[in-house]
Amino acid sequence: MKQATSGAGAAATITLAAGAAGQVRCCSGVCWSYSAAPTGGRLTLASTGQPTFDVDTPATGLNQLDPTQTFRGAPGQTLVVTLAGGGGAVVGKLNVLSDWLE
């Protein structure tokens, strides 16, 4: 499991390392929360050469993507999971429950 906690108003980011040129970094079980209602809350999963998964996250409390859904990066590239800064004094927490190489 990987975890990141932001500073007040800042983004929380987890970078999952690239494997060899032919390997794909995968993850599942992405969970996050904000300490208060965020301004511009957003979650992205990005890997060079792949479309970015991008959703708005306006709610406080625990949020999660479908834990049975696997997100795959591009071969030989990192997979970056980012919870945007919530603005003001809002703190964000981000978790990736599982990641692996295929």
pLDDT digits (tens, 9 = 90+) for 25-78: 999 999 999 999 999 899 999 998 888 999 999 888 899 999 899 999 999 999
Residue 58's contacts (CB-CB under 8 Å, 6 or more residues apart) are 37, 38, 41
C-alpha pair distances (Å), 2 with each of 5, 14, 43, 74, 80 = 11, 7, 16, 20, 12
What is the per-residue pLDDT for 13?
98
- Strands (DSSP E) found in the chain: 2-5, 12-16, 25-34, 42-46, 53-56, 63-64, 71-72, 79-83, 92-101
Among the ranges given (10-14, 48-52, 80-84, 88-92), the one the predictor scored with the smallest mean pLDDT? 48-52
Architecture per CATH, domain 2-101, reads as Sandwich (2.60)
Residue 96 clears pLDDT 90, i.e. is over it: yes
What are the boundaries of each domain within the chain? 2-101
What is the per-residue pLDDT for 59?
82
